[in-house]
Amino acid sequence: MLAPIAAGRASVRVDGARASIILDVTGLPPAARDALATEVEAAAGSVAGIESVRVAQTSTRTERRSIAVASGKGGVGKSTVSANLAVALAARGRRTGLIDADIYGPSQPRLLGVEGIKPEARDKKLVPVATAFGVPLLSVGQLVAPEKALAWRGPMATNALGQLVDGDWGDADTLIVDMPPGTGDVQLTMLQKHRPAGAIIVSTPQDLAWIDARRAIDLFAQMQVPIIGLVENMAGYACPACGEISDPFGNGGAAAAAEALDIPLLARIPLAIGIRTASDAGAPPAAGNGAEAAAFLDLAAQVEAWLDRKG
């Protein structure tokens, strides 16, 4: 009687009038786990001679890796790159979650269209908020009002980061971590306590931005976290009237930095109004099939290939 409901997930032992059921809930989100347990309990209780039913849930631990997306300074579009990378990886079939670790400037709830939705708690863990793009999200921006200043000292910020990382991520096997800019307490805590598998460094083309990006690269090197590669954001602007490409922030800085540091240049994301408007509207370009999606989809393919090589 349980087979059509549990689909091979249930192991049953009957002792007189009591049924004990072990239910494998691996890969199911929290709501689905409870719903399945309720259905199984009801089905077992309807069997003649069964007076009591006990259901215990179990699951196989998911092997999970995180990718830090970082920058040496703010304002380079790191959060936009993080959101679109996560969406593009999910579109490729990877079970991807997103952590907004930019404690003092959380913007992922806006970028993924879930502003105003707070995460629930389950067994003392935060349950990520589902999004329309198949990427669950946890962000400090979900816990405080958008206009509220986060005047937190280091210990408070690092404790908040720990709650996000240790959330109930279900079957997600890849977490994209939108790091705060710079090289302070939150960054050090992330690298020491929640070591990422690798890091992606985002910068704009101008030389000044790359000076700060090099500091971020050095921090990861000191902590022995591999650099997956560099992303040059806001690289090249196509005039909507004539199509001519101009470079308001400079040209060639990323390629030169990548060559000098012997690090792959993963992507050049254009300075495009379509990326800006879609991001403000909570509709990441990577979720579509327009021209703005191409660079993010290619970036995701390279990151996935890197993860596969690392096993």
Q: Please, are residues 253 and 206 in contact by the beta-carbon 8 Å criterion?
A: yes
Check whether 27 is labelled as a binding-site residue.
no
Give the count of alpha carbons within 13 A of 264, CB side only. Answer: 14
Check whether 118 is labelled as a binding-site residue.
no
Identify any residues that bridge with 15 across adjacent strands, giving them in sequence order. 18
Euclidean distance between CA atoms 133 and 197, whole angstroms: 24
Q: Please, are residues 1 and 43 in contact by the beta-carbon 8 Å criterion?
A: yes
Query: Looking up tokens 């992303």, which residue turns up?
Result: 231
- Pairing of the two strands 125-127 and 52-58: unpaired
SS3 at position 67: strand
Check whether 182 is labelled as a binding-site residue.
no
Distance, C-alpha 307 to centroid of its chain: 15
Check whether 77 is labelled as a binding-site residue.
yes
177-to-44, 96, 159, 166, 273 alpha-carbon distances in Å: 43, 11, 16, 13, 25
Check whether 236 is labelled as a binding-site residue.
no
Euclidean distance between CA atoms 150 and 195, whole angstroms: 25
SS3 at position 198: strand
DSSP classification of residue 129: B
Check whether 45 is labelled as a binding-site residue.
no
Closest Cα partner for 107 from 150, 66, 56? Answer: 150
Farthest-apart Cα atoms in the chain, separation = 82
DSSP letters of 202-236? EE-SSHHHHHHHHHHHHHHHHTTPPEEEEEE-S--
DSSP classification of residue 109: H
Check whether 170 is labelled as a binding-site residue.
no
Euclidean distance between CA atoms 144 and 118, whole angstroms: 9
Check whether 310 is labelled as a binding-site residue.
no
Show binding-site residues.
Answer: 72-79
Show binding-site residues for ATP.
Answer: 72-79
